[in-house]
């Protein structure tokens, strides 16, 4: 694990944060939602799927299913049809229905605000819980680690881990807590716009001089 007390590392991290704030001053989730339940469902659907596709699918979905009980009592075939474009639709439908049932049975139909309660819901692990807590309530109980955050955190030399939970622990140790939510949102945007998986656009990315480009083989 990267040593959290390393002064040089922390100084470099402060500069990275400064530049990310300059580039993404209003970094927020790209998912569209009007309630905690809609955000939870959208985040579950976003697994292995573009946010744009989720946003294309959810208007019709949210019109038909408006409460946790609606999802709990959904017809699987109808739900699968509505979310088909997001991929892995059978498993997602099963998780969303189970999520709705658990919300009804254990939480009065409301989305809980605690990590330990959220991760009890089907289809919800720490990443999903962190997204919902941060986006809806501004609660920082951890750091979102998706594929972009995993890749870029490694390229920045801030972790040597490959397991998302271990990467999150490294980031929680290094980052000021007030930056936990911002880091996830900003780095995800940076991954989509600039630091792509196959061919990162290193020149002019904004992090020149503070990024060691660990594992980067191509740049343009």
pLDDT at 1 over 60: no
Q: Which domain holds residue 216?
A: 1-28+142-220
The verdict on 156 and 108 lying in the same domain is no
The verdict on 132 and 49 lying in the same domain is yes
Residue 5: its pLDDT value, please?
A: 46
Residue 39: its pLDDT value, please?
A: 98
- Among candidate residues 88, 118, 137, the one where a domain is terminated: 137
> pLDDT tens digit string along 54-105?
999 999 999 999 999 999 999 999 999 999 999 999 999 999 999 999 999 9
Residue 3: its pLDDT value, please?
A: 52
Decide if 187 contacts 153 (C-beta within 8 A): yes
The verdict on 185 and 121 lying in the same domain is no
Residues with active-site annotation: 127, 146
Residue 68: its pLDDT value, please?
A: 98
Q: Which residues contact 92 (CB under 8 A, 6 or more apart)?
A: 44, 45, 47, 83, 86, 123
The verdict on 20 and 43 lying in the same domain is no
Count structural domains, the chain.
2
Residue 218: its pLDDT value, please?
A: 58
- Among candidate residues 88, 115, 137, the one where a domain is terminated: 137
Provide the angle, in degrees to the nearest 10, between the axes of the packed helices 89-107 and 76-83: 120
Residue 212: its pLDDT value, please?
A: 93
């Amino acid at each position: 694990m990267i040593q959290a007390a390393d002064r040089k590392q922390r100084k470099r991290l402060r500069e990275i944060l400064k530049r990310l704030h300059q580039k993404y001053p209003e970094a927020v989730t790209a998912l569209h939602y009007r309630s905690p339940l809609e955000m939870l469902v959208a985040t579950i659907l976003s697994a292995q799927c573009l946010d744009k596709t989720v946003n294309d699918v959810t208007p019709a979905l949210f019109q038909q299913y408006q409460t946790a009980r609606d999802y709990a009592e959904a017809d699987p075939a109808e739900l699968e049809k509505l979310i088909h474009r997001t991929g892995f639709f059978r498993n997602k439908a099963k998780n969303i229905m189970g999520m709705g049932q658990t919300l009804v049975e254990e939480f009065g139909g409301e989305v809980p605000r605690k990590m330990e309660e959220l991760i009890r819901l089907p289809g919800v692990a720490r990443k999903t819980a962190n997204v919902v807590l941060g986006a809806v309530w501004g609660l920082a109980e951890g750091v979102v680690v998706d594929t972009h955050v995993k890749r870029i955190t490694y390229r920045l030399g801030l972790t040597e881990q490959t397991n998302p939970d271990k990467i999150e622990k490294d980031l929680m140790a290094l980052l000021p807590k007030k930056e936990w939510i911002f880091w996830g949102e900003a780095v995800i945007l940076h991954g989509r716009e600039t630091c792509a998986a196959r061919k990162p656009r290193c020149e002019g990315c904004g992090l020149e001089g503070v990024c060691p480009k660990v594992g980067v083989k191509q740049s343009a």
